[in-house]
Structure 1
């Protein structure tokens, strides 16, 4: 018997702590399940006191609710005491034994029933006991089950916890003590003096409001501009406010007011004198004024777009900013057209860009603006940056004198026009000198003008300046003439974009001129980009021309491919990159030689069609049709200019007629004139009715009416082409359609002006129509070029070499083996997930770049929403 007790003691000693913890867990289970109503009732009572219900209702209600809650708590206590049973050791042993393998506790307490005298049986029994004792070491305390869902099927305990959460958020423990003041004279005491107060910081500080009743007397840090609200209850005069933080005069009547609101503008003291009053030492946190400085170099693109970097900071964030440019007259070169005083002009104010996302407490941004059209472009100006915060404080930068960035012109005639345009905007009294200078420039046009129409536009513009100078220039006339001079200068600088070969040659000439004049790296990069675009247009036009020649002469298509040199777009791109690299290194001679070699290769190259290309695609047909429409519009505009010139010459005196004849003879030698265009009555090959002195067209119709009819027919043809435009629904196609819509509207205006006999207005409208047509061609060409690079069998070249060697971003072959939208050829293994993550990270990075175009950001957001 003693041996059995000794064994039991040893067994319990091995599982002493797991057994004790399991037993206490059982005690916690039974306490929770027996007394959960008591906890819930106590929590409800505490929540009501923290919310201050006792201060808002009559004292009778307070006593009534207190009695109900007290009786409920007593019932819950009695119920819990009756249900609670202290767990026994045997029960804890059974629970602990149930969590072990083979119930080792019960097994070690068993006794051998039979075979005690058999040695073999006894050995087996001892081995079994030792194994069970070894398992006792694995004993761990059993976790208690504190769930009371069976005892509380309606989840009333959660309602009590919800009330306590609301009380913690919107109530205060300080309100609990107010219930102790309720006694026999309850109503009289509830009307005694009390107060409430709040401190609300300005919204831009993003700081929380403070309930002053929860803040004991002492020091308190408050941001500048914080609003303090005080409300006193009870007898008037029982509580008096004494404060020195608002800077306002506080007479006795104002100090006893029951409602007071004031703003913190300095450090000081806030006191509420009277029963339950307090005193706080207010330490005001000052709102520091913002700062802004201009830093870094100003970058100017070829088109004249300037990037002016600046840095701004504020303790709570910048709200807005402005860049103010004023003319620095003392730094202006006052020679030539600027000898006289300038006309008074307001300062140029441009809003500064603010970060769209992120903190505005400290940031660096760039003001991106094109000031090329402003009268002060390329003149010394004084720049002053100004920023303001939410409180209205302003920060100013140190004024700096700099040259207002603007576009540079490399064509000599265009540069002269821009110079005289600036002189006209400087002071309109320069108009007479401007006309003399422009007459000198255009006296012997020679090779200065590639098209006769450009020379005629200059002569028309010159006539408008002289007439305006004679009768005085109004503000509207000054602005119109300045805009016309700018448009003509751009036409001279940009060249004929319709002719790809001319554009390519012009791009090379402008690049060479820029190198000679010491252009910046940014301007060279812009000109190189223009050269790349001109090369692509040239190769596309060359492919169309060779296709037409092959259709007319099939023998041309049977060429020996062994004698042909294959070049990919990557090869041409590498050559252009090499040219740009040589220019950036200052090796201009080598760069010019590389450009000459590239020009020879482009002039001698032939474009071959890929297999399976049986004819023109819809995009190529649309491009060719629009190019033909542009040529017809150019011819129509040329005829309108000639008619205007004839009217101008007839209106001048004998001297003007002689000068017009000399200019007409010189104009016949202008380069770029299309064969068959009439220049006078002796022009061979002239169409019937184009050179009649009486200005009549065919069948006795006036020339203006004939031109109007042709303009209407051209507009109808453009309308038909616009309805059948390919690429609808894409970004490039929509841009092209919008540009062609503007061209159609300008054609309507030109037709109306022709019928009214206003040739000058008609020419302006036709110029707008041609510019819109060129823009539409560019947009459509870029969209088609992008589409061709993604398709198989590209004409003439394919980016990256052979199409079969290319892969899309997901690793698929765009050749015959992998089709778009299929999983054939996809990357396998972990690499595909890595590549997909890289693409997703790149999309997120680009979508966070606020400087990207709005259309691109919308497209990136759609991609991120989809994937």
Structure 2
């Protein structure tokens, strides 16, 4: 068995020499900190007060009181240090080191076996115990010192002293400590027996980013300062012992023999010169001013104009310390304006346009490039010559201005002829209010044939009301507020004509094609053509989606869309359209505009003759609740359209008091001298109404019925319209209760749209009873738009349902048999023949179906938007049956 001898003990203790020495050093540091922290606190507080110069501003009594407290605190601190000071011995260090290890191994090694020394087994256990303790001692680490004195300093006075000393190092001066000894005589003035003292600071403007200089720390010699630097000097001691002279402020000193010498000086550096303090401890500097350069700004090129009229004007600016702000001033270049037509009179006085320039949000403003982005399409000077000047301003309020640049103020381009005419008259009215009469005359000429100038009767009515306002203003005069309101209404109307509120996706697509074609012909920019091409893509996508929904909703017997020019149908997919538009865009990017225009015309022709492939599912058999609801909404929409048209015709007759009732060239569906197809009472007939229609087609003549133009009948007609509107509202309530798709997002959207339509119908009914046809037409338009939204949402809900359904074999066979029958229930001839020798299945459903077909033919024959050839064909059908 291995014996643990005295030699092993010595080697073990020699291995503790380093950790034991480190532990003892830590204990000495603890003793110093715990005994001397009060004395260090008193010393730091006294030094901080002296370096800050409190003895120079406090009364003498307060200074001696502070000195007494400092001395008393120092004495107490010495006593505290003497009482708490202790010098640790090696034994103390060994005890602390032993306590830091488990089992007190050092004590165990130094102990001897008290009992059982003669027992070999007991002695062996004791030696094994010592070996384990020796192993622990060999792993001993120095015990770190505990320098915390928070228990002895609960108010953290030592931190207050450190903070005060740190502040005095930053804002005070070490040289002030020496002046404390000069106050021993008891007179504050004698503290300056060695001579007066002074202090000075040089504070550059904040925007320069330069630090403040303490002049006492600067040696004599050259000194470079930014212009505008504030010099502050304070003199202490005997009055008049020190004087300040300077030539950097540019202000001549005025001598006043009776005034006492100044002890404080504040002035700004504006020029090169000298700055000196004369007297004991004199010092002087040769000051060189660093000038603040004026900013620079320049316009980098002509403005870039987007298709919708947004302008992007690039510019660059720089300054030595950074540009603070800038603005662009736009002034009308009256000398360059073509003073013709509506621009002939002198313009109304308008202030110049001031637009703030964009500044970099982050980064350095010393040099940067930005773009002034704004849309001036609605400004009276849009598309007129102007002068643009940009101004930059720095922090020193120095300005720089670009050379005036002549340009045409960009504005939105209108491709629709009627919209362009309205915008031009709007410009004339904003140019001078005296143009109101001329603008009204021009717009009356533009809208003389409303069906050629407008796509809807509502838009024509809006323009007519605006023309009436112009004529009223021209007769009685109007102020600037009415001028701006009229200009805003004209702008909104032009936007509707150009791009908004078209009847369906097909019209939007055609309009996008027309705008793109006009842009290519007029030499528009690449950016404008690219934007219009993107708009055509969006409109075509909307049209294809809408057409797919309509094809899915078609019922048995509805006719397919026929080509109106060549009489042939085409099967196209959306991918084919996208490839064609990609080809058009590629040709435009290559500059081959003639080929691009030809490709665009081919696309227009193909879209006009296009026929979407129609599936066979859901065409036969009994209609589903969704299909019945869709058909009911379509019928309600047609009735509401007819009711709105009839109210518009009544309003036309009110604006044309010289015409007989119903006598209007485009009075489709009304009886009277030139109307046809529908009586004033809203009933469609095959007798007199048909004769009126034929006479209107042959020469526009017809005899006027007696008694249709009197006021009593007009009032009864308005009441009749209100009653029909009420009936239509009741029918909508019935359909709303049977609407499918409850609980789905599409179905809920359809119900919400029906709610909006019902509210608009209620308001239209009230307007009709009050005789306000114009407001009634507006509310009817809102009702029709809500009905269209409901139909779109319902179509999406039905499409979602159909995706999860697969028709059975029996259903498909029934669909095929239904497709082989004509609208009257007869089987078609063999080999594709359209005739049949079978007798019509004249049951109740067949008679109802025939009546529906006849009503549909009459409705289509009365739509003025249909081609003349189609309407002639429908009229011949009516004459035959």
The worse-fitting range, judged by mean Cα deviation, of 52-61 and 705-714 is 705-714
- Show the counterpart of 1:645: 655
Indicate conservation of the 8 Å contact 1:204/1:316, yes or no: yes
Residue 227 of structure 2, aligned match among 224, 227, 235: 224
Residue 680 of structure 2, aligned match among 681, 687, 697: 687
- Show the counterpart of 1:696: 711
SS in 1 for 2:64: helix
Indicate conservation of the 8 Å contact 1:696/1:702, yes or no: no
CA displacement at 1:372 relative to structure 2 = 1.5
- Show the counterpart of 2:688: none
CA displacement at 1:527 relative to structure 2 = 3.1
CA displacement at 1:547 relative to structure 2 = 8.4
CA displacement at 1:323 relative to structure 2 = 0.9
Cα deviation code 1:210-230 (max 9, x no counterpart) = 565566656655443333344
**What TM-score, normalized by structure 1, do the two folds share?**
0.64
Structure 2 vs 1, CA of residues 110 and 483 (structure 1 numbering), >3 Å: closer, same or farther?
closer
Alignment of 1:393-472 (within 5 A): 393-422=398-427, 425=430, 447-452=452-457, 454=459
- Show the counterpart of 2:67: 66
- Show the counterpart of 2:178: 177
- Show the counterpart of 1:366: 371
Structure 2 vs 1, CA of residues 92 and 402 (structure 1 numbering), >3 Å: closer, same or farther?
same
Structure 2 vs 1, CA of residues 250 and 299 (structure 1 numbering), >3 Å: closer, same or farther?
same
- Show the counterpart of 1:381: 386
- Show the counterpart of 2:243: 240
CA displacement at 1:184 relative to structure 2 = 1.4
How far apart are the structure 1 equivalents of 2:189 and 2:486? 88
CA displacement at 1:38 relative to structure 2 = 1.5
How far apart are the structure 2 equivalents of 1:679 and 1:77? 124
- Show the counterpart of 2:824: none
Cα deviation code 1:371-408 (max 9, x no counterpart) = 11223322332211112223321121233222211001
CA displacement at 1:185 relative to structure 2 = 4.2
Cα deviation code 1:681-720 (max 9, x no counterpart) = 74442434999886736685797x99999999999x99xx
How far apart are the structure 2 equivalents of 1:57 and 1:695? 106
Cα deviation code 1:416-464 (max 9, x no counterpart) = 4434544555567777876776676556677443334555666676677
Residue 348 of structure 1, aligned match among 348, 353, 356: 353
Cα deviation code 1:669-688 (max 9, x no counterpart) = xxxxxx74789774442434
**What TM-score, normalized by structure 2, do the two folds share?**
0.63
CA displacement at 1:132 relative to structure 2 = 6.7
Aligned-residue RMSD, C-alpha: 6.2
Alignment of 1:311-322 (within 5 A): 311-322=316-327
**Larger RCO: 1 or 2 (CA < 8 Å, sep 6+):** 1
The worse-fitting range, judged by mean Cα deviation, of 339-348 and 374-383 is 339-348
Structure 2 vs 1, CA of residues 429 and 133 (structure 1 numbering), >3 Å: closer, same or farther?
closer
How far apart are the structure 2 equivalents of 1:349 and 1:631? 48
How far apart are the structure 2 equivalents of 1:626 and 1:354? 56
SS in 2 for 1:292: strand
Structure 2 vs 1, CA of residues 711 and 241 (structure 1 numbering), >3 Å: closer, same or farther?
farther
Indicate conservation of the 8 Å contact 2:386/2:408, yes or no: yes
Indicate conservation of the 8 Å contact 2:573/2:612, yes or no: no
SS in 2 for 1:312: strand
> Which stretches in structure 2 are left out of the alignment for 5+ residues?
561-570, 619-623, 684-703, 733-741, 744-748, 805-881
Structure 2 vs 1, CA of residues 76 and 428 (structure 1 numbering), >3 Å: closer, same or farther?
closer
Residue 252 of structure 1, aligned match among 252, 255, 260: 255
How far apart are the structure 2 equivalents of 1:571 and 1:184? 108
CA displacement at 1:646 relative to structure 2 = 0.3
Indicate conservation of the 8 Å contact 1:371/1:377, yes or no: yes
Structure 2 vs 1, CA of residues 525 and 792 (structure 1 numbering), >3 Å: closer, same or farther?
farther
- Show the counterpart of 1:272: 277
Indicate conservation of the 8 Å contact 1:308/1:368, yes or no: yes
How far apart are the structure 1 equivalents of 2:547 and 2:98? 93
- Show the counterpart of 2:511: 506
CA displacement at 1:319 relative to structure 2 = 3.3
CA displacement at 1:794 relative to structure 2 = 5.2
- Show the counterpart of 2:528: 523
Cα deviation code 1:726-776 (max 9, x no counterpart) = 99xxxxx9xx99xx9xx99xx99x979x98x9x9xx68x988x89999999
Indicate conservation of the 8 Å contact 2:12/2:137, yes or no: no
CA displacement at 1:186 relative to structure 2 = 1.5
Indicate conservation of the 8 Å contact 1:321/1:388, yes or no: yes
How far apart are the structure 2 equivalents of 1:102 and 1:608? 93
Structure 2 vs 1, CA of residues 314 and 470 (structure 1 numbering), >3 Å: closer, same or farther?
same
CA displacement at 1:182 relative to structure 2 = 0.9
How far apart are the structure 2 equivalents of 1:580 and 1:266? 65
Larger-Rg structure? 2
Residue 304 of structure 1, aligned match among 309, 316, 323: 309
How far apart are the structure 2 equivalents of 1:502 and 1:513? 16
> Which stretches in structure 1 are left out of the alignment for 5+ residues?
557-564, 651-656, 669-674, 719-725, 728-732, 799-867
Alignment of 1:74-113 (within 5 A): 74-92=75-93
Residue 395 of structure 2, aligned match among 375, 384, 390: 390
CA displacement at 1:86 relative to structure 2 = 2.9
Cα deviation code 1:272-320 (max 9, x no counterpart) = 3345564344444433322323336633333312232333333444333
How far apart are the structure 1 equivalents of 2:581 and 2:57? 83
Structure 2 vs 1, CA of residues 29 and 480 (structure 1 numbering), >3 Å: closer, same or farther?
closer
SS in 2 for 1:252: coil
Number of equivalent positions: 721
Indicate conservation of the 8 Å contact 2:505/2:543, yes or no: yes
How far apart are the structure 2 equivalents of 1:599 and 1:458? 30
